[in-house]
Structure 1
Amino acid sequence: MNHVGHIHRHLKSRTTSHRRVGTTAAVYSTAILKYLTAEGLELAGNASKDLKVKYEELDSLIKGTIAGGGVIPHIHKSLIGKKGQQKTNGCLDSVLSQDS
Structure 2
Amino acid sequence: MSGRGKKVGAAASKRKATVSRSTRAGLQFPVGRVARLLKKGNYAPRVGTGAAVYLASVLEYLSAEVLELAGNASRDNKKHRIAPRHIQLAVRNDEELNALLGSVTISEGGVLPNIQAQLLPKKTKIKPFKIKNVQLVTRNVRL
* TM-score for both structures, normalised by structure 1: 0.49
The higher-RCO structure (CA 8 Å, 6+ apart) is: 1
